Amino acid sequence: MVDSSPIRVMIVDDHPMVRRGLAAFLKVQADLELVGEASDGPEALRLCDQVHPDVILMDLLMPAMSGAQTTRAIREKCPQMQVIALTSFQEKDLVREVLEAGAISYLLKNVGAAELAQAIRAAHAGRSTLAPEALQVLVQSASEDPRPDYALTPREEEVLALLVEGLSNPEIAERLVVTRSTAKAHVSNILSKLGVSNRGQAIRLALQEKLGK
């Protein structure tokens, strides 16, 4: 049975005008529901326990706790909650830090309404959305150290490439003509071999190390 309930979204941003604009955007999306707003990290952590969002729109530069620190704390406590970094900044350190903290997506605040709505739906489905600027930063910041041997099998490299494309497990299964459980197992093995805890981190590492076919 398909779940028709709206995706529960929480906004975390220290600027009231930004929160107001995002709230207005969410209210006109039939399948998205605004369930909470927080002005900083500590408030966001408290609200998560109360409103149980599916997806969180996270600013990066905030008082008390940074967006990356807040993201890490939320993901450690509630790994089912997906975080989209939504910021005006594209510095490579910020991109790396928040993705390593567990954010599934990284978007700039000038993103269009339709793109943002789609990114929220994709995050809820476990798919990453990275702004072109963020992708460029990740590629440019590729390590100059020798590439580690992650011992990925040829099939796992194929699956990793599909993760970078943004495909979900069911979509990977369909593309490779395998069962969903097999696709899920491949993804789990990839995360383990790469030493990462989620798809966003795997994508960041794949881009940085030029992994996957």
* CATH classification for the domain delimited by 7-140, as one of 3.40.50.2300, 2.30.40.10, 3.40.50.1370, 3.40.50.1000: 3.40.50.2300
DSSP 130: B
pLDDT value for 54? 97
Quick: pLDDT tens for 52-67. Answer: 999 999 999 998 899 9
Quick: pLDDT tens for 138-147. Answer: 666 654 455 6
First and final C-alpha spacing in the chain? 35
Same fold: 7-140 with 154-209? no
CATH architecture entry for 154-209: Orthogonal Bundle (1.10)
Per-domain residue ranges of the chain: 7-140, 154-209
pLDDT value for 142? 56
With a CB cutoff of 8 Å and minimum separation 6, the contacts of 13 are 19, 22, 37, 39, 57, 59, 62, 86
Average pLDDT over residues 104-114: 92
Partners of 54 in the beta sheet? none
Cα–chain-centroid distance for residue 46? 21
pLDDT value for 1? 44
Mean pLDDT across the chain, nearest whole number?
Answer: 89
141 exposure class (CB count in 10 Å sphere: 0-12, 13-18, 19+): middle
* Whether 7 contacts 32, CB under 8 Å: yes
* Whether 57 contacts 119, CB under 8 Å: no
Tell me how far apart the alpha carbons of residues 147 and 127 are, in angstroms, rounded to a whole number: 26
Q: What are phi and psi of 166, to 5 degrees?
A: 95, 15
> Is the pTM here over 0.75, yes or no?
no
pLDDT score of 2 more than 70: no
pLDDT value for 96? 83
